[in-house]
Every structure is written in C-alpha cells, then in structure tokens.
Structure 1
Amino acid sequence: MKFQIPLAPGAVTKFLLRLVTCLALLSFLSQISLYFGPEYPLREYLAKVFNVDAERNLPTFYSFLALVFSSLLLGVIAYAKNLDSDRYKNHWKILSFIFLYLSLDEAGQLHEKFINPMRSLLNATGFLYFTWIVPFGCLVAIFLSSYNKFVFHLPVATRKLFVAACALYIGGAIGIEMIGGYLFSTTGMESLPYLIVATLEESLEMVGIVVFIHGLISYIKTYLGGVSWNIYIPGKNTQVTDHQNIGLPALREAANTNLLR
C-alpha cells in the first residue's frame, strides 16, 4: 500500500500562519497575565513555555523546525540544480547551509553570545543595546550584495516572495530588535511597550520564514515538478522493501501550476 502526501504551497502556508498566530497570541497574553494579571495556577510556567522572547520553549522549537524545513527545501532545489549543472547551484547550496546555521542559532541562541563583548567594546546603549546586530548586520549587508544577481535571475513571482520574506525577517530580527533594545534599556522587559515590540519582532521573523517556505515550495512545484512524501506500507503478499521514500517526481518536467496558488 502506498500513500503520497504532496506539499501544496497554499495548504502548508495556511497551516503555518495559523500556528504562528496562535504562538504570538499565547505569548503576548501569557506575558500580560504574568506582569499585570492576578495569580492563577501555572501562571509562570505558561508564561515561560509560550514566551516568544525566551529560549527552549514551544516558539523556539517551532522556529527551529521551520528553519530546518527551509534548509531541507533549499537542499532539494540545490540537488536538482546540481544535476542540471545550473549556474547558481552553489548559491542554493550556500543558502541551505545558512538556514541550517540559523536553525542551530535559534536552538542555542548563539548570536546572543556576542552581546556582552560587543557592548563592552562599543559602550553601546539605546537602539544598539542588543549589540549582536552590529556584526550580524554587516554580514547581512555582505550577503545581500553578493546575492543581488541571484535574486534577479529568479522568476518574478519567486523573487517577490523571497524579497518579501527577507524584508519581514530582517526587518523583525534587526529593525524591530533595535527598537526593542532601546525599550529594554530604558523601560525594562516588564513594560507593556517592550512586550508589544518583542512580540512583533518575533512574529515578523516567523511570518518571514513562512513566506519563504511558501516561495520555496511554489518554486519546486512549478519548476521542478513538485515534492511529496511517499510512504509504503507492505502487505502480506507484497515484495516492497522500501518502507519510506522522500522523492521529487519529475525533476525535469515543469508543472503547469500557478506559482502563487
């Protein structure tokens, strides 16, 4: 018996957006309840589990999985491009490794290790209070300049989705983070303005990744024939030995589908 589960861009995006919305709302409400609400059982535990601005909890686990999924999709595209000896095959490979690093960073909060050394070096306050944005901002600028030609070679619909995803993610991770740093250093993390900004920052990052995933799956579906999970369950009289297979049907045959559907 064989089950095929295709990855439809629209269905995946709707599911992820609903998940992100739930995580953002639960985080904001639990933080408001923690700092401004009455006592109730498990209040501090729930605030910790759902806080998008904290580590090792449900939002962090979701973001880690979303970034790993992005890395896998980029790896699938890189594999197909490598078979065709595509001019930009290495760009896809590097992107896959970048998102793998981002997933590890999300799990271990590696970028935060730069805060104290950079703060001491720059004597930073205000908008640069979270000083990790200085070295990483430089890396982002280098990345964007080096990927300029790659972006413009993409189909128009894919390019728009990638640019939108980049704007949302970087706008949240660096732009809104700067505002959050200023509020953190002036009003503290228990103030309502900081809670709003912190929730907005993390929400933009998560939505940016959802848009990027939508763009990747749409690109695979339209230009590489689609991707699906094929699950084989052998019966008593079958000779199937592969219990699970993940493959790309018709790598070289473009599907007649709308990229944005």
Structure 2
Amino acid sequence: MNLSLGHKVFFVLLTIITILTILNIWSFMALDNYNNQQTGLFFKKTNFNTEKNIPSIFSGSLHFIAAIILAAIGLSKLRIENKKVFWFCLSFLFLFVGLDEILRIHEKLNRYLSNSWETSGIFYYTWVIPYGVALILIALVCFKSIFALPKQTIRDFILSAFIFLSGALGMEMFTGWYISFQNLEGLYIEKMNSIFVLYTVEELLEMLGISYFIYSLLRFISQYRAIQQPIFNIIIFKDTHERITKCYRKGMGKP
C-alpha cells in the first residue's frame, strides 16, 4: 500500500513524539540520581516541563512547519475558492504560537499578571484568561472561513484543534484547579508524580494536535491544489492554437 505524503509525515512525527515521551518519563524517573534536584543535564534537555530544550524546540518547530504550509496554501492555486487572507492569518497565528512555545511568552505573561490579579482554581495560571479571550475572538473571526472549507477538512481542523486545546488550555486549567484544591501552592510541585503526569499529558496532547493538523493540511493540499500543466506544454498548446486560428481566418482548413 502506497502511503501519501501526509501519512508518511504523520508517522514520522508520531515516532518522534513517542521517543520524546519515553525520554521525558526516563528523565523524571532518574531524578534520584541527581539527589532529587532537577539540575541534571539529561533532565534539562529532555523533560517536558523545562524551557528551551529538545521537546520545546520540537513542539515549536511543529508550529513553524504548520505556519509554512499555511502560507504555501495561501500562495497556491486551489480547485476551490482560496481565501488567501484566511490562510495567511492562520500562518501568522501559528508562527506566534511556535515562538510562544519556545520562548515561554505565556509564562512570562503569567508572572506579570499574577502580581496584579489574585486568581485560583481553573484560573490559577492567569495567562489562560487573556489567551482564552483571544481564542474566542479568533474563532469568531475565522468561523465563516473555516466552515466554507470541504467537510472532511472541517472535521480534521476541529479534531486537531480539540486535541491541541485540550492540552494547551484544558490540562493547564485542570492543573491549576488541582494545585488550588490540594493546597499545593508554594510547594516544590515539579517533582510530584501527579504534577508530572499532568504536564506530560498536556505537552503530549499539544504535540499530537499540531501533528494531526499538519497531516490535515497536507491532505487538503493533495486533494484541492490545482494541477498545473508543465510550462512547455502550455507554450506548445498556445502556439498551435494561434497557428490554427490564423489558418482558418485565411480560409484554409488546416495549418
């Protein structure tokens, strides 16, 4: 069975995610080797909850890949109506989210907002409030364009968004509620088994969601990109057509 490009890319991404997940689990289990201190090089480079390491760079790269594909769709000729502004806006959005993933912009915003707002429960992590509002606004703006797409593409986009947002916002809000409910604030929670499971599931859902979105984009391109003739065929056809037209105008029945 010949697999499409989308299937091949998705399989490679799933393989990488599986390897990163195993390394993340291994890094947490190996904490005893560092006297329970999260200072080991292996932990820093492979754990899902640390910054500027292999998992965060990979996750950010997934967003950059999606941004490039979205921009490519905007520049392509499609067999359906191509709303270029829609695709370019999505491309910019994924570029920002990718930078946010690597630079942890939302965490810096969270520290800033926490000094002004006293929040708890599902809003323990304050950044989910402005990001949640922005998400709703983006959904309202893009609603018409998304539901103008083919039905299969709509289903793919909704499923990938559900998986990604279940991790990025859903698990983050649940973790905040868990910390508040268990009165864990101020404790060294990063080495707790329960917190490890929560942030692992969160990052895993994010990577799976964006990987499926990339697969969805590649499948969309393969189905709806306009097939363009080779340029030399177009030139030959145009030249032949002009010759035939001139001959008939002169009263000849053939070139």
User: TM (normalized to structure 2)?
Assistant: 0.79
Provide Cα deviations, 1:62-103, integer angstroms capped at 9, x if missing partner: 11211111000001100115x899462211110011111111
- Distance verdict in 2 for CA 1:181–1:90, change over 3 Å: same
Pairing 1:140-151 to 2, within 5 Å after superposition: 140-151=135-146
Distance 2:80 2:161 in 1: 27
How far is the alpha carbon of 1:184 from its aligned partner? 4.5
Pairing 1:70-81 to 2, within 5 Å after superposition: 70-80=66-76
Corresponding residue for residue 59 of structure 1? 55
Pairing 1:106-185 to 2, within 5 Å after superposition: 106-184=101-179
How far is the alpha carbon of 1:15 from its aligned partner? 0.7
How far is the alpha carbon of 1:22 from its aligned partner? 1.5
Unaligned 5+ residue runs, structure 2?
Answer: 230-255
How far is the alpha carbon of 1:43 from its aligned partner? 8.1
1:211 maps to a residue whose letter is Y
Distance 1:39 1:131 in 2: 32
Q: Is the 8 A contact 2:63 2:95 kept in 1?
A: yes
1:190 maps to a residue whose letter is K
Distance 2:163 2:149 in 1: 19
Q: Is the 8 A contact 2:160 2:212 kept in 1?
A: yes
Runs of 4+ in 1 over 3 A off after TM superposition: 37-40, 83-87, 182-187
Provide Cα deviations, 1:211-247, integer angstroms capped at 9, x if missing partner: 100000001111115xxxxxxxxxxxxxxxxxxxxxx
Q: What secondary structure does 1:147 align onto?
A: helix
Within the candidate set 62, 86, 89, 1:94 is matched to: 89
Corresponding residue for residue 46 of structure 2? 50
Q: Is the 8 A contact 1:80 1:251 kept in 2?
A: no
Q: What secondary structure does 2:40 align onto?
A: helix
Corresponding residue for residue 197 of structure 1? 198
Q: Name the structure where strand makes up a greater proportion of residues.
A: 1
The number of equivalent residue pairs is 220
Corresponding residue for residue 24 of structure 2? 27
1:160 maps to a residue whose letter is R
Distance 2:176 2:100 in 1: 19
Alpha carbon RMSD of aligned pairs, Å? 2.5
Q: What secondary structure does 1:124 align onto?
A: coil
Q: What secondary structure does 1:122 align onto?
A: coil
How far is the alpha carbon of 1:7 from its aligned partner? 7.2
Corresponding residue for residue 14 of structure 1? 11
Provide Cα deviations, 1:171-222, integer angstroms capped at 9, x if missing partner: 1101101122234553422211110000000000000000100000001111
Q: Name the structure where helix makes up a greater proportion of residues.
A: 2
How far is the alpha carbon of 1:122 from its aligned partner? 2.2
User: TM (normalized to structure 1)?
Assistant: 0.77
Q: Percent identity?
A: 29
- Distance verdict in 2 for CA 1:210–1:87, change over 3 Å: closer
Corresponding residue for residue 224 of structure 1? 225
Corresponding residue for residue 246 of structure 2? none
2:73 maps to a residue whose letter is I
